[in-house]
Amino acid sequence: MRAPAFTPYASRGRKPIVAILVTFALCSTASIGLSIWQTARTQHRAEVLRVAERQQTLASEYVQQVMLVHAGQQSDPDVTATIMRLSTDALLDGGAVPTVPGNDDEAELGPTTDPVVRAQLIQERRLVDDMTATGAAYLAGRPASSVPLTAGEHLAVSAPLTRLRVLSMLTADAALNTARTIVAESDSDVTNLIAMQAVLGAVGLLVSLTLALALVAATRRQTAHFRSIVDSSTDLVIVLGNGGCRHVSRSVTAMLGVSEDAVAGGGILRYLHPDDRALVRSAQTSGRAEEIVFQLLNQHGEWRTLEAHVTDLRNDRAIRGVVLNARDVTERVRLQDALVRQAYHDGLTGLANRSLFRDRLEQALARSSRTGGAVAVLILDLDGFKQVNDSLGHDAGDQLLRVVADRLTETVRATDTVARFGGDEFAVLLDQTDEALAVSVARRALARLAEPAVVAGRELEVAASIGIALHSGDGAGDELVRDADVAMYAAKDAGRGRHEVFRSEMARDPDELLGLDNELRYALARDELTVHYQPEISLSGGQIVGVEALVRWTSPTRGPVGPDVFIPVAEASGLIAALGDLVLREACGVTAGWLRDGIVGPDFVTWVNVSPKQLTMGGVQDAVDRALRSAGLPARNLGLEVTETAIMPGAAADRARVELQQLHDAGVRIAIDDFGTGFSSLAHLRHFSVDMIKVDRSFVQGVERDAKDTAITANVVALAHALGLVAVAEGIETEGQLAHMRTVGCDVGQGYLFSRPVPAAEVTAFLAAARDDAQAA
Amino acid sequence: MLACAGLLAFAEWSGAGGGGQPSVRVVRITERDFHIRAPRRIAAGRVRLEVKNDGPDLHELIVVRDPAGARLPLRTDGLTVNEDALAPEEVGSLEPGVPGSVRALTLRLRPGRYEIFCNMAGHYMSGMHAVLLVGQP
C-alpha cells in the first residue's frame, strides 16, 4: 500500500476553495449561457410567431383583394399570394421573409426543425397554393372546381367565392394553429429552462456546501494540529498584545506552575524579573525582530534565564500580538559563566590566572597613563616549595598553595589583583601606587606568610621571595612582569624571605632562565648530553666494584651546564623521562660491553640516579626493563640510586615504591642516595629492600673538622651494617677523609681522590688497566 | 394542452371504471386533414370513442344526435356549423387535439342516427364529417 503523498499545511484547504469556485463558475456559466441561448431563441421564436400570425391576416386580405379585383377595383392579390408562399418557405427552411409593403421590417429566419410544426407548415403551404390557385381561377373566370386541391380538402360547395373563402379560412386556421404550436413549445422550453436552472443551482449549492464543510473540517484539524505542535513543543511561546499577555503555551504554564489565566494580561509581570520588565515591555511595543534575554521565576522559586526571539505578528489577524519564542538557556548561561571563570581563573586557588592578570595589568597601565599614578607588579615565589611537594606529596603542596593564596588576598586591597602564574609562582598587581606602598605590601605579605601554617598535619613555615617592579604610563605589561621576575631572582639569590625592587643593573639575561628547557630539548635531540662515570672503590681491597653514571651537558652556547641547573629544568618540563632513558640506555650498553670484554667481574654494578620526579611520573620499571633487554645486561649489574623520600610512604610515592620493589625482586640493586639529608625513617628502611646506603658528601667532607659529622658517618655506616647493607662514602677528596671512612668500616668510597667522573672511553681504559694490575698481582 | 388531454382521458377512464359497467365498446375514430374515418354502424350502449388525430392540423370532435337535415345548420358566414343551434342535439364533444394525440370520449348512445364532425374554421366545409348509425345491440 502506498502512503498518501504529504501535503504541506499551507496548501491544504486550497483544494476545497478552488473546487467551490469552479463549481460556482461552472453552474453560473451554464445558467447564464442557458438564459442567453433561451433569450436568443425566444427572440427568434417571436419573429417566427409574428410571421406565422401574419399569414392568417394575409389569407383574409387575399380573399378581399381577389373580391376587389373581381369587382373591378385596384388591388394586387398576386403580391399577397407571393408573400404568403415565400413566408411559408422561409418558416419551413429558413431565409429572408418578404415584407408587406409599408407594414413591417424584413426578417431573417432559421429553418424549423420540429416535425409537428414542419408538418403544419407544409400543410399550410399546400393550402396557400390551393387558395391562390382557386383565387386565380376565379379571377380568370375559370370554374373553381377545376382547380386540383392538394391538401386533402373535400369541398362540398362549388361556388367559386365560397370555395375561395373556405380555403382562406383553412389557411388562416392552419397559420393560427402553427403559431399556437410554436407558443406551446416555447412554454415547454421555458419550463425546461426553469427546471434546468433550478437543478444547476441546487447542484452548485450542494457541492459548495459539501466542500465548504470539508474546508471547515480541514481548517479545524489544521488548527488543532498546530495547537498541539505549539503545546507539545518545549519552546516557550508567549504572545503579548495591547492588554499584556494574550496567550502562553503549555510549556510556560508548566514551568511557572500556574494556569494560563494567572499569567493573562498583566499577570505575567509577577513572574518576570524586575530588571527585565522594561526590556520585555519595549519588545512588546516595538515588535522589533531581535533576540532578548530575560528571567522568569519558576514554580520552585528559581530564576530561569530565557532567550527569546521576538516576532511582530500584530498585523496577523489570527495572532494580533508580539510573539516571543523562548528557550530556557539557564544551564547554558551557567556553563558559559563557568567556562569564562575557568579561562580567567586558577582552578586550584580561585585566583586570577596569567591571562586575567595580564588583562588587568594592561587596563591598569592604560589608566595610569591618564591619571599619572604608578602600577606595581609583585612576583612571589615560595622558597623550598619543591621540598614540601617532594616530601609531603602534591596534595599537601596544593593545600599550601591555597593557604598562600588566601594570605596574599588578605594582604592586599580588594581592588588589587592577586594571581597564580602556575607552580608556586604568584603575582600581585597594585594599581595607583608608589614604591613605598609596594614595598610595604611586600613586607606585609612576607610577614603574613611567615606565620606557621598547618598542612597535612604538620606545622610548616613558609618563606617566599618577592620581586617588585613599578611602571607608569602605557604599555610594557610584559616587561613589567619580567622585571619583577628578575627582581624576584635577585631576592632569592640574596637569601630566603626577602624582597627586592627591580633596578636596571639587575637585568641579567632572563632568556637564560626562560629558554633553558627548550635548549635542553634540543640538546637531547642533538646528543649534546653525555654520560660520565665515576668509579667506586672497595676501601678494603682497593678494587673497582662499580661506577656511578652521571649525566653531563656541554651546551654549544653556554658551555658546561651543571646537573644542579638542568635537572630541575628537566623535571619541571617533563624532559626528565627522556633524560633518564638516555642515561639508562648508555649505562646499560657500556656495562654490557665491559662484561662481554671481561674488563669487569660478574659482581660489578653500574649505578644510575633516578630523580623523585621520575619515580612519581611512573614508568621507571618499564624504562629499566627496556634498557636491560636492549643491552643484554643482567639485572644484577645495574643499580638505581634513589633519594630517601622516594621510598617514604605517601600517595605519590606508593607507585614508585611498588616499581622499585619489583625491580629489586628482579635483581636490580637499589641504593639510598644522599643518606641523612632527607626525612628517613629507619622503620621504612627496614621494610624496604635496598642494597646500599650512600653517606652524603656533606657528612664525609666534614669528618676532619666536625666531630658531629665524624659521629654521624660512623653511625650511618654502623646502621648500614646492622641492616645488612653496603655503606658507600661519597665525595672523598682527601687522604684524611679516606682514612676516617676506612676506620669507621665503610665498605666503598667514591670521590675526586680516586677519580673525577670521566667519559666512557676513559673509564674503560681505567678499568682495563685495573684488571691488568689485578691479574699481574 | 397535452397534460390537459391526458387528464381528461384519465377522467374518462375513471368514469368508466367507476360506473362499474364492463361492457364499454370501443370505437376507433381517426381524424386528419380533412377527413374523419369512423365505423358506419355501431351498437347502442356505452361507447368509448377513441379519437386519434393524424394531423397535420388540430382537430376537434362534436357528436350530435339525429340532426334535422342532410346538412347541419351553418352560421351566417355560411362556412362553419352553428353549434348553438345544435345544442339540444349535441351529446358530446372533444376540444381540439394536437397532431398525434389520442383522446377518448365515453358516451351512452341510444339507437339512432348521429353525426360527428370537426368545426374548426373551414374543416366541416372541407369534408370533416361522418354519419354514425347506432343500432340495437
pLDDT in tens, A462-489: 888 999 998 866 657 788 888 888 888 8
Query: Cβ separation of A155 and B32 shorter than 8 Å?
Result: no
Q: How far apart are CA A148 and CA A130, in angstroms?
A: 8
Q: Tell me which chain A residue has its CA closest to the CA of residue B71.
A: A156
Cell 401574419 found at: A54
Among candidates B57, B96, B125 on the partner chain, residue whose Cβ is nearest the Cβ of A120: B57
The pLDDT assigned to A650 comes to 60
Q: What is the 3-state secondary structure (H, E, C) of B79-123?
A: CCECCCCCHHHEEEEEEEECCCCEEEEEEEECCEEEEEECCCCCC
User: Chain A residues with CB inside 8 Å of B127's CB?
Assistant: 153-156
- Asked if the C-beta of A159 comes within 8 angstroms of chain B's C-beta atoms, the answer is no
User: Which residues lie across from A708 on neighbouring strands?
Assistant: none
- Three cell numbers at A232? 507539545
Phi-psi region of A186 (alpha: psi -120 to 50; beta: other; left: phi over 0): alpha
The pLDDT assigned to B51 comes to 93
Among candidates B33, B56, B121 on the partner chain, residue whose Cβ is nearest the Cβ of A169: B121
User: Chain B residues with CB inside 8 Å of A169's CB?
Assistant: 79, 121-122, 125
Query: Cβ separation of B56 and A170 shorter than 8 Å?
Result: no
The pLDDT assigned to A26 comes to 85
Q: How far apart are CA A105 and CA A103, in angstroms?
A: 7
Q: Tell me which chain A residue has its CA closest to the CA of residue B98.
A: A181
CA distances from A159 to A73, A152, A163, A164, A170 (A): 21, 19, 6, 9, 16
The answer to whether A128 and A81 have CB atoms below 8 angstroms apart is yes
- Asked if the C-beta of A183 comes within 8 angstroms of chain B's C-beta atoms, the answer is no
Query: Cβ separation of A169 and B78 shorter than 8 Å?
Result: no
User: Chain B residues with CB inside 8 Å of A119's CB?
Assistant: 55-56, 99
Q: How far apart are CA A670 and CA A638, in angstroms?
A: 9
* Residue ranges in chain A whose pLDDT is less than 70: 1-14, 101-105, 232, 472-475, 505-515, 646-653, 677-684, 686-687, 777
Among candidates A116, A152, A172 on the partner chain, residue whose Cβ is nearest the Cβ of B121: A172
The pLDDT assigned to A376 comes to 92
- Rounded to a whole number, what is the distance in Å from the CA of A161 to chain B's nearest CA? 11
- Rounded to a whole number, what is the distance in Å from the CA of B93 to chain A's nearest CA? 19
* For testing contact with chain A, the best of B34, B76, B119 (most A CBs within 10 A): B34
Among candidates A156, A177, A184 on the partner chain, residue whose Cβ is nearest the Cβ of B57: A177
Among candidates A120, A153, A177 on the partner chain, residue whose Cβ is nearest the Cβ of B127: A153
Count of beta carbons in the 10 Å neighbourhood of residue A214: 15
- Asked if the C-beta of B4 comes within 8 angstroms of chain A's C-beta atoms, the answer is no
Q: Tell me which chain B residue has its CA closest to the CA of residue A174.
A: B57
The pLDDT tens digits of the residues spanning A153-178 come to 888 888 888 888 889 988 988 888 88
CA distances from B104 to A61, A178, B6, B15, B92 (A): 38, 24, 10, 12, 11
Q: How far apart are CA A642 and CA A470, in angstroms?
A: 44
- Three cell numbers at A775? 691479574
- Rounded to a whole number, what is the distance in Å from the CA of A152 to chain B's nearest CA? 6
Count of beta carbons in the 10 Å neighbourhood of residue A658: 12
Q: How far apart are CA A46 and CA A39, in angstroms?
A: 10
The pLDDT assigned to A624 comes to 93
CA-based torsion, A436, A438, A440, A442: positive or negative: negative
Query: Cβ separation of A156 and B127 shorter than 8 Å?
Result: yes
Query: Cβ separation of B79 and A154 shorter than 8 Å?
Result: no
From the CA atom positions of chain B, what is the Rg in Å? 15
The pLDDT assigned to B9 comes to 38
A369 by Cβ neighbours in 10 Å (0-12 / 13-18 / 19+) ranks as: middle
The pLDDT assigned to A681 comes to 61
User: Chain A residues with CB inside 8 Å of B99's CB?
Assistant: 116, 119-120
- Rounded to a whole number, what is the distance in Å from the CA of A31 to chain B's nearest CA? 27
pTM: 0.40
Query: What is the mean pLDDT of each successive set of 10 residues along chain B, which is 137 residues long?
Result: 39 40 82 91 91 90 82 83 85 88 91 91 89 87
- Asked if the C-beta of B122 comes within 8 angstroms of chain A's C-beta atoms, the answer is yes
Cα separation of the two ends of chain B? 36
> In chain B, count of helices (H) and strands (E)?
1, 9
Q: Among A707, A660, A698, A691, which residue's Cα sits nearest to residue A676?
A: A698
